[in-house]
Amino acid sequence: MWFSQTGQLGTVLDTLVQPLAQSGWRVERHEIVPRAPFPFPWSLRQFVSVFPAAADPTADIEVQQIELPPCRPGDLLIIGAQVWFLAPSLPVRAMISRLRPQLRGRDVLVVFACRNMWYAAALDLYHRITDAGGRHLGTVAATDTHAPEQTMVTTLRWLITGRSEAFGRFPPAGVGPDEYARLERLGRVLAEQLAAAASDEVADHVRVVLANERAAPIDVLAAAVDLAVTPRFQRWSSFIRAASPPAGLRRRALLVSFVVWLLGTVLSLPIRMRRLAAAPDTAARVAASLEPVVAGAGAGP
C-alpha cells in the first residue's frame, strides 16, 4: 500500500518485493488515491501552501477507500510513504486513519523513499500503527545518497519542474542505483529467510533480517536535525492555522514568514551540525529515539 507522486516509491516497493513474489509469496498492490489530487509537479506556491496541513499531525483528507484482505497468520502489510515537511504524506496518514480497524493484529513494515530525512516521519507512523493495534516490525529507508547540498537543489527542482535528470554539476535527483541494489539484496534475504518460516515466525524473521541488513541506515547528524526541527515545524503549522484562514493575504504573509525562517534554518545547518557532531551524546540520543522504528537501532556513518 503506497502513495507516490513521482512513481519512485512504487519502483522502490517493486524492487523490494519482487524476490518475495518470485519465491512464491502472493503480493497484492493497493495504491492510495486522494479524492482531490495533489499537483505534480508543484508550483512553489502550492508546495508551500500545503505546509500547514502537512505538519499538522491531526490533519486529514479524503482518499478512496482500500479494503485489505482478511488478516491471516504470516501475512505482512507493507506501507510505502513519502515525506512531506518531515512528516508522512497526507494521503498515507489519511488511509491509515481509515484502516484502523483492519490494522489490529497485523504485522506492518514501513518503507520510505525520500531525500534524506525520514526519521520523525517513521516515528509518526509507528505511533499511528501501534495505536491502531498493529505490530510495527521495522523500517526500510531508501534515500538519495548524494551530498545534502546537492540533493537540496535537485529535489526541489524535481518537485517544482518534474525534472530529475542530472544538470550541470548536479547529479540526478532521487534514489540511485546503489540503493536499488541494496533493496533488491534485502528482498532476496527476506525471501530466503521466510521460505521455511512458520506463519507465527514471520515477524521475528523480518525483524532479524532488517537488523542484520541495516535496512534503514541512520545518518546521525541528519536524524538529530530532523528530530529537533520537526516540533518547530509543528509549532509553525499550529500558529499559521490559528492566525489565518486557509486562503487570504494573512495566510500568504505567514507562509512567506515561514519560508524566510526555513531559509535561515537551512543556512545555519552547517553550524548546527558541527555542534551536534561535537556533542558526545548525540549518537546515543538518536539511537534511543529511533529504537522503536529501526531494527537494532544501529547508527551508521
Task: Give pLDDT tens digits for 255-273.
Answer: 999 999 999 999 898 898 8
pLDDT at residue 300, as a whole number: 38
Can you tell me the mean pLDDT for 126-136? 97
Domain extent listing, the chain: 8-218
Contact indicator for 134, 108 with CB cutoff of 8 Å: yes
Q: According to the model, what pLDDT value does residue 241 have?
A: 95
The residue ranking higher by pLDDT, 282 or 298, is 282
| pLDDT confidence of residue 299 | 38
- Give the pLDDT mean for 281-294: 95
pLDDT in tens, 201-246: 999 999 999 999 999 999 999 999 999 999 999 999 999 999 888 8
Judge: domain 8-218, CATH 1.20.120.1200.
Answer: no
pLDDT at 298: 42
Q: How far apart are CA 180 and CA 17, in angstroms?
A: 12
Mean pLDDT taken over the chain: 95
The whole-number average pLDDT for the span 162-186 is: 97
Structural contact between residues 123 and 291, judged by C-beta atoms closer than 8 angstroms: no
Confidence (pLDDT) at 239 = 96
Residue with cell 527476506: 190
Categorize the per-residue pLDDT at 196 as very low, low, confident or very high, splitting at 50, 70 and 90: confident
* φ, ψ of residue 175 in degrees (nearest 5): -65, 130
Confidence of residue 296 (pLDDT cuts 50, 70, 90): low
Contact call for residues 226 and 117 (beta carbons, < 8 A): yes
State the Cα angle at 185 between 179 and 186, rounded to 5°. Answer: 90
Q: For 92-114, what is each residue's pLDDT tens digit? A: 999 999 999 999 999 999 999 99
Q: Which residues contact 189 (CB under 8 A, 6 or more apart)?
A: 209, 212, 213
Instruction: Return the pLDDT at 207.
Output: 96
